[in-house]
Amino acid sequence: MLASAFTVDRLWRPPIAAAHVAILMGTKNGAKFLAAQLASIADQTHADWSLFVSDDGSTDNTKEIIAHFERDHPQKILVRAGPEQGVSANFVSLATDPTIDADYFAFSDQDDIWHSDKLERAIGWLATIPNHIPSLYCGRTELITSDGRSYGLSLLFSRPPSFKNAIVQNMGGGNTMVFNRAAKKLWEEVGKVDVVLHDWWLYQLVSATGGAVRYDPQPMLKYRQHGHSLIGSNLGWRARTARMRMTLSGRFHAWNTINIAALERVPGHLIEPKNRTVLTLFTRATRASLFKRIMYYRQSGVYRQSVIDNIAMFIAVIIKKL
């Protein structure tokens, strides 16, 4: 089904060590931590990479730090101006750019620290999937404070990745994501649509179209938590309580409305029939009367990764906040 939509070589792939990775980095006023992130990219055991930086209007020394890094790594760095419409739009502009081509692609934030084998481990799995199947690797993170002290790991998810999960929850942060050319070509074909988060959208898109998704329980980067973090760690009861409040306040409903509209713009032949059914039932569960809302919700089979989050979601169904 997917192979008819765009051309991806089904048979040939370079040896893993020779596979080229395009790292897609969004920056904005990241000077405080950017050098450490860039150093961890330079230290990757998989050395065949290039870095595409989309800077969203930095007013600090971000561009100077990148320029210094570029002098040490000539012909591997490309910097351009971002759309200045928010972090997700910045990453979407990179992911949907047909002039950026590689065997694999990795999102990169500006303030993390990658483990040296991050790319190697991700590519090791991606290389087992046929070229024409959109494939996405993601996983856990090691959490660190703003000054680099480790204080634990992100939540370990045990339920399998699937569209039934993706439609209501993002399983892996964008900073952990590495994906293949088929996934990028799929995204290019669908084009730029209004989404809540670029990483959540990629999980939804790959899973909806029958692609392969791998959630790695072994952390592959240090995720820095500080005052400017856009998304928190989701760790602990305080974070869970905040998610519960967010769900019941209607924010989750607003996100679902945006995601449903985006998914409905995906050409019908790309989404697997079983996932099209899930989308239809879930959409009805957000709009119908109480009894039918519960019925459609149960029939859709959607799920989140924790018991408390599923309880919150069911309450949202009852009070019409799904």
Instruction: Please report the pLDDT score of residue 71 as a whole number.
Output: 96
Interatomic CA distance for residues 70 and 177, integer angstroms: 23
Instruction: Please report the pLDDT score of residue 1 as a whole number.
Output: 38
Amino acid at position 70, single letter: E
Burial class (CB in 10 A: 0-12, 13-18, 19+), 260: middle
Higher pLDDT, 238 or 153: 153
Average pLDDT over residues 220-231: 75
Instruction: State the pLDDT confidence band at 230, using cuts at 50, 70 and 90.
Output: very low
Instruction: Kindly list the structural domains of the chain, giving each domain's residue range(s) and its CATH number in brackets, ordered by start.
Output: 16-224 (3.90.550.10), 236-318 (no CATH)
Average pLDDT over residues 157-161: 97
Higher pLDDT, 8 or 4: 8
Q: What digits encode the pLDDT tens for the residues 5-63?
A: 444 555 556 778 889 999 999 999 999 999 999 999 999 999 999 999 999 999 999 99
Instruction: Please report the pLDDT score of residue 6 as a whole number.
Output: 45
